[in-house]
């Protein structure tokens, strides 16, 4: 056995325990860091070739491993911009240069430019949502992702492109024999009337007058004319004659035995509003019953110019702008990314991780789909560090370091004795 070998083995042991103490120090320091994943030193022996004589001591090698796949406790907060992942997956973030990284720390705040960033300055990434509510994704890369900006300072006006108006027309209404609303004369008569509100391209509110006129009832059918005018074109005091033709008119046929529209009857009115779009007013569920005229359901989309009051996340990762009038518009959808071996990711300052050769490629999906974890809004994932375990490990490393130093000291003392023999 070489005395120098004994000393080298003692140094190897001290270095290994120093590494362990380093991981313990980091874990304790970050025990309150949101989304932090604990580090740990694992040891493997190093053996030298042995001859037939004395034993050749080897050493120990310390390898640092990370418990990235081990989740921490979910703690709920009062901020709607705090996000946590319950299950597998990571949020995708990027630094100032656009380099992507992964993180479980969902404590995001708005910077002075309106971007969502974490405390290390990494930008939360998301897919922009188009007007139809769709996103374009790339499953194995970050293409299409961009920084999420919640600064929505412009007014938003949405023109009406969908409408629904269901009503009951009275079975006992008298057949109109004179001029109907479609004639647009001062003498025009009708059976019932209602109005609905829609919006043009600039957010102007338009009122549409809708007239219902019983034309006939023969056999098993009853015909009704439905005509729509722009209320702004009405005569002084309202009503006929309007200064512009009807926006739409059609004849609807009811089955008097069932009270529903017949199979051959129209079910919608196609209409084009001034400085607006063309859309259908759904009338498919109108009825013809022995009751007074009444609107059973009405719904139109669109809104007048309105400012954004707040932004909020849905639990599917969609970020909505909430307007002063209560309307909501999807802005971004936050993806959830994962790798085959999360524990092999490379930690980077800022509580983020980079993809490595050992971790496997990044796979991008959405919350709750394809094995990805769910997103908890208004919550943060705590560190997975257990202080009791770390303090125990610290004492073990301290004692083992002392024992290795004794081995080194023993080798040094023996070497000094050997040197002194030659004097």
pTM of the model: 0.66
Alpha carbons 65 and 17: distance in angstroms, whole number: 15
Domain, as residue range, for 9: 3-70+384-421
- Extract the runs of DSSP E, i.e. beta strands, from 219-317: 221-230, 248-255, 268-272, 278-282, 287-289, 294-300, 303-306, 308-313
Same domain, 135 and 258: no
Can you give the CATH number for the domain in which 233 is found? 2.60.98.20
Are residue 331 and residue 289 in the same domain, yes or no? no
**Are 45 and 139 found together in one domain?**
no
Regarding whether 253 and 177 lie in a shared domain, the answer is yes
300 in the same domain as 174 = yes
Those residues whose C-beta lies under 8 Å from the C-beta of residue 360, and which sit 6 or more positions away, are 339, 340, 341, 344
In a shared domain, residues 193 and 244: yes
| Whether residue 197 is found in the same domain as residue 297 | yes
In a shared domain, residues 228 and 258: yes
294 and 169 housed in the same domain: yes
Total structural domains within the chain: 3
Which of 268, 288, 305 terminates a domain? The answer is 305
Q: What are the φ and ψ backbone dihedral angles of 181, each rounded to 5 degrees?
A: -55, -30
My answer on whether 162 and 294 are in the same domain is yes
Q: Would you say 79 and 380 are in contact if contact means Cβ atoms under 8 Å apart?
A: no
162 with 301, same domain? yes
pLDDT in tens, the chain (423 residues): 577 777 888 888 888 888 899 999 999 999 999 999 999 988 888 777 766 667 777 778 888 889 999 999 999 999 989 999 999 999 999 999 999 999 999 999 989 888 999 988 999 999 999 877 788 887 777 888 999 998 765 677 889 999 999 999 999 999 999 999 999 999 999 999 999 999 999 989 999 999 999 999 999 999 999 999 999 999 998 899 999 999 999 999 999 999 999 999 999 999 999 998 899 999 999 999 999 999 999 999 988 887 778 889 999 999 998 887 777 888 999 999 999 999 999 999 989 999 999 999 999 999 988 889 999 999 999 999 999 999 999 999 899 888 888 888 887 777 777 777 765
| DSSP state at residue 388 | H
User: Do 146 and 198 fall into the same domain?
Assistant: no
């Amino acid at each position: 056995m070489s005395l120098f070998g004994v000393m080298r083995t003692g140094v190897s042991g001290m270095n290994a325990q120093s590494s362990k103490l380093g991981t313990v120090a980091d874990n304790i320091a970050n025990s309150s860091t949101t989304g932090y994943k604990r580090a740990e030193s694992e040891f493997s022996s190093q053996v030298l070739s042995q001859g037939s004589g004395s034993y050749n001591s080897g050493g120990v090698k310390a390898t640092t491993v990370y418990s990235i796949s081990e989740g921490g406790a979910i703690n709920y907060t009062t901020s709607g911009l705090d996000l946590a992942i319950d299950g597998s997956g990571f949020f995708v973030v990027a630094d100032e240069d656009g380099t992507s990284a992964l993180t479980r720390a969902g404590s995001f705040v708005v910077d002075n430019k309106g971007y969502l960033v974490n405390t290390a300055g990494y930008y939360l990434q998301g897919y922009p949502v188009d007007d139809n509510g769709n996103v374009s994704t790339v499953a194995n890369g970050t293409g299409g992702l961009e920084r999420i900006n919640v600064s929505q300072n412009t007014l938003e006006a949405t023109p009406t492109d969908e409408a629904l108006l269901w009503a009951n027309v009275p079975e006992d209404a008298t057949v109109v024999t004179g001029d109907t609303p479609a004639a647009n004369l001062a003498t025009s008569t009708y059976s019932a009337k209602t109005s609905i509100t829609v919006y043009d391209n600039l957010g102007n509110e338009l009122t549409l007058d809708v007239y219902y006129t019983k034309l006939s009832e023969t056999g098993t059918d009853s015909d009704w004319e439905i005509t729509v005018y722009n209320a702004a074109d009405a005569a002084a005091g309202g009503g006929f004659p309007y200064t512009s033709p009807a926006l739409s008119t059609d004849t609807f046929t009811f089955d008097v035995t069932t009270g529903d529209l017949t199979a051959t009857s129209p079910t919608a009115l196609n209409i084009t509003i001034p400085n607006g779009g063309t859309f259908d007013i759904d009338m498919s569920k109108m009825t013809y019953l022995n009751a007074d005229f009444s609107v059973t359901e009405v719904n139109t989309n669109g809104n007048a110019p309105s400012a954004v009051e707040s932004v909020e996340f849905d639990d599917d990762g969609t970020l909505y702008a909430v307007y002063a009038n209560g309307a909501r518009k999807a802005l971004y959808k936050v993806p959830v990314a994962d790798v085959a071996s999360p524990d092999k990711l490379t930690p980077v300052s800022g509580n983020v991780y980079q993809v490595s050769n050992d971790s496997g490629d990044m796979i991008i999906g959405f919350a709750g789909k394809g094995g990805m974890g769910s997103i908890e809004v208004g919550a943060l994932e705590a560190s997975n560090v257990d202080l009791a375990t770390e303090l125990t490990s610290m004492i073990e490393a301290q004692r083992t370091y002392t024992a290795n130093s004794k081995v080194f000291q023993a080798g040094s003392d023996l070497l000094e004795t050997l040197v002194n023999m030659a004097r």
